Amino acid sequence: MLDRIDYALLRLLRKNARLPNKDLAEKVGIAPSTALERVRKMREDKVLLGYHAEIAPEAMGIGLQAMVSVRLAKHSRALVDGFHQHLLSLPEVLACYHVAGADDFLAHIGVRDSDHLRNFTLSALTERAEVAHIETRLIFEFQRNVELPPLL
């Protein structure tokens, strides 16, 4: 179970995963060895799943982002799992969500431009037999919230 110290460490790491251990310990008010051990234990316990670099989309040639909702025609574990793996194999898919409701998946897409988006949705999504319907919404702005929800 996480305590207030673990939660404080997670909040700091969520805002800056490159924060040196010494600074992390100082901000939380614990010894550097304690901070190091707690972070190691959270990695071991699969509380911390990884560290990620936030990359400017424009630097990667992404000029347009969209959220595409996908509804499958049929549902079986094999079809759902297969389509999920298909989405994750596509470099244009920045994030993938398997959801409940009218649609089955939401895919955050990053492409060069509107022609790239059109060609991508046609070839990677609508031409697949298991796909019944897609709906595309353009993303004007995306910002990750670095705060943690106060659920702990």
Verify that 30 and 87 share a domain, yes or no. Answer: no
In a domain, 75, yes or no: yes
pTM, two decimals, is 0.84
- Specify which residues 97 forms β-bridges with: 106
Q: What is the pLDDT along the chain (152 residues), one digit of tens a residue?
A: 899 999 999 999 999 999 999 999 999 999 999 999 999 999 999 999 998 888 899 999 999 999 999 999 999 999 999 999 999 999 999 999 999 999 999 999 999 999 999 999 999 999 999 999 999 999 999 988 888 887 65
Domain count, the chain: 2
CATH number at residue 93: 3.30.70.920
**In 3-state terms, what secondary structure has residue 110?**
strand
Specify the pLDDT at position 135.
98
Verify that 62 and 22 share a domain, yes or no. Answer: no
Specify the pLDDT at position 54.
87
149's tokens: 């929800």
Verify that 22 and 72 share a domain, yes or no. Answer: no
Specify the pLDDT at position 152.
55
Query: Quick check: 68 and 134 in contact, CB under 8 A?
Result: yes
Distance CA 66, CA 121 (A): 11
Segments forming the whole domain that contains residue 10:
4-44
In a domain, 106, yes or no: yes
Verify that 66 and 26 share a domain, yes or no. Answer: no
Specify the pLDDT at position 151.
67
